[in-house]
Amino acid sequence: MTDAPAISVRGLTKRFGDKTVVDDFDLDVARGQIHGFLGPNGSGKTTTIRMLCGLLVPDGGSGSCLGRDILTEAWEIKRRVGYMTQRFSLYEDLTIRENLDFVARLYGLDRRREKVDRALDRLGLAKRSGQLAGTLSGGWKQRLALAACVLHEPELLLLDEPTAGVDPKARREFWDEIHTLAEGGMTVLVSTHYMDEAERCHRIAYLAYGKLLAVGTVAEVIAHSGLSTWHVSGPERRIGTLARDLASRPGVEMVAPFGATLHVSGSQAAALAEAIAPFRAEPGLTWSEAKPSLEDAFIHLMAEAPAQNGAPSR
Amino acid sequence: MRSGPHFAWHRLAAMVVKEFIQMRRDRLTFAMMVGIPIIQLTLFGYAINADPRNLPTAVLSQDNSSFSRALVTALQTSTYFRVAAVAQDPEMLDRMLARGEVQFAVEIPTGFGRDLMRGDRPALLVMADATDPAATGNAAGALDRIVQSALTPLLDGPLAGLAQGQPPVDLRIQRRYNPEGLTQYNIVPGLMGTILTMTMIIMTALAVTRERERGTMENLLAMPVRPVEVMIGKLAPFILVGGIQVLVILTAATLLFHVPMVGDPLVLAAGLLVFIVANLAVGFLFSTVASNQLQAMQMSFFFFLPSILMSGFMFPFRGMPDWAQTIGEALPLTHVLRVVRGVMLKGNTMIDTWPDIWPMLAFLGAVSLLAVMRYRQTLD
Ligand SMILES: Nc1ncnc2c1ncn2[C@@H]1O[C@H](COP(=O)(O)OP(=O)(O)O)[C@@H](O)[C@H]1O
Ligand SMILES: [Mg+2]
Domain ranges of chain A: 7-222, 228-291
| Domains held by chain B: number | 2
Residue B49 lies in a domain: no
- pLDDT score for B186: 65
pLDDT in tens, B314-353: 776 766 788 888 999 999 999 998 898 888 877 888 988 9
Q: Is A171 in the pocket of ligand 1 (CB under 6 A)?
A: no
Task: Identify all chain A residues contacting B13, using CB atoms and an 8 Å cutoff.
Answer: 105
Give yes or no: residues B138 and B245 share one domain. no
Q: Which atom of ligand 1 is nearest to the CA of A210?
A: 14
What's the rounded mean pLDDT across residues B52-58?
82
Measured distance CA(A82)–CA(B10) in Å, rounded = 19
Say yes or no for a CB contact (<8 Å) between B378 and A57.
yes
- Residue B64, domain member (yes or no): yes
**ipTM of the complex, rounded to two decimals:** 0.88
Please report the atom of ligand 1 found closest to the CA of residue B380. Answer: 1
In a domain, B44, yes or no: no
Q: Quick one: B95 and B193 in the same domain?
A: no
> Does any domain span residue B169?
yes
Mark which of B176, B200, B230 sits at the end of a domain: B176
Edge-to-edge strand ranges of the sheet holding A81-84: A81-84, A156-160, A187-191, A34-38, A203-208, A211-216
| Sheet containing B55-61, strands listed edge to edge, beginning at the edge strand earlier in sequence | B81-86, B55-61, B104-108, B123-129, B170-176
B15 found inside a domain: no
Average pLDDT over residues B233-245: 91
Of A16-30, A72-86, B3-17, the one with minimum mean pLDDT is B3-17
- Type and span of the H or E element at A179: helix A168-183
Nearest neighbour of B10 by CB, restricted to A76, A85, A105: A105
Above 70 in pLDDT, residue B109? yes
Mutation target to probe the B interface, by most B beta carbons within 10 A, among A16, A75, A150 is A75
Take atom 4 of ligand 1 and give the residue whose Cα is closest. Answer: A16
Q: Is A258 in the pocket of ligand 1 (CB under 6 A)?
A: no
Q: What is the CATH number of the domain that holds B122?
A: 3.40.1710.10
State what percent of residues in chain B have pLDDT above 90.
29
In a domain, B40, yes or no: no
Does the structure show a pLDDT above 60 at B49?
Answer: no
In this predicted model, what pLDDT tens digit does every residue of A222-244 receive, in sequence order?
Answer: 998 889 999 999 888 888 888 88
Q: Please list every residue in chain B whose beta carbon sits closer than 8 Å to the beta carbon of residue A157.
A: none
Answer for the pair B162, B227: CB distance below 8 angstroms, yes or no: no
Q: Does ligand 1 lie within 6 Å of residue A39's CB atom?
A: yes
Same-domain check for residues B197 and B159: no
- Residue A208 Cα to ligand 2 midpoint, Å, equals 12
Alpha helix locations (H) across chain B? Answer: 9-25, 27-49, 66-77, 90-98, 112-118, 133-151, 160-163, 184-213, 216-222, 227-255, 265-289, 293-310, 322-330, 332-341, 350-374
Sequence-separated (6 or more) residues with CB below 8 Å from residue B362: none
On whether both B258 and B301 belong to a single domain, the answer is yes
A7-222: CATH architecture: 3-Layer(aba) Sandwich (3.40)
CATH of domain A228-291: 3.30.70.330
Is the model's pLDDT at A103 over the cut of 60? yes
Ligand 1: residue of A15, A37, A46 to mutate (most ligand atoms within 8 A of CB) is A46
Does pLDDT of B170 surpass 70?
Answer: yes
Asked if residue B21 is part of any domain, the answer here is no
Residues 3-62 in A contacting B (C-alpha not used; CB under 8 Å): 50, 53-57
Name residue B176's beta-bridge partners. B129
**Domain-embedded: residue B7:** no
A91 — pLDDT class (breaks 50, 70, 90):
very high
Distance of CA B190 to the CA centre of its chain: 3
B68 and B139 fall within a common domain: yes
- Considering the domain architecture, whether residues B166 and B187 belong to the same structural domain is answered as no
Q: Which of B27, B227, B288, B379 is nearest to A89 (CA)?
A: B379
Establish whether domains A7-222 and A228-291 are of one fold: no
Substitution target from B208, B212, B216 for chain A, most A beta carbons within 10 A: B216
- pLDDT beyond 90 at B184: no
* Nearest alpha carbon, ligand 1 atom 9: A47
Write out the residue range of the structural domain in which residue B114 sits: 55-176
How large is the average pLDDT for residues B114-122? Answer: 87
**Statement to judge: residues B160 and B299 lie in one domain:** no
Band (A312; pLDDT cuts 50, 70, 90): very low
Task: Using the predicted structure, report yes or no on whether residue B48 has a pLDDT greater than 80.
Answer: no
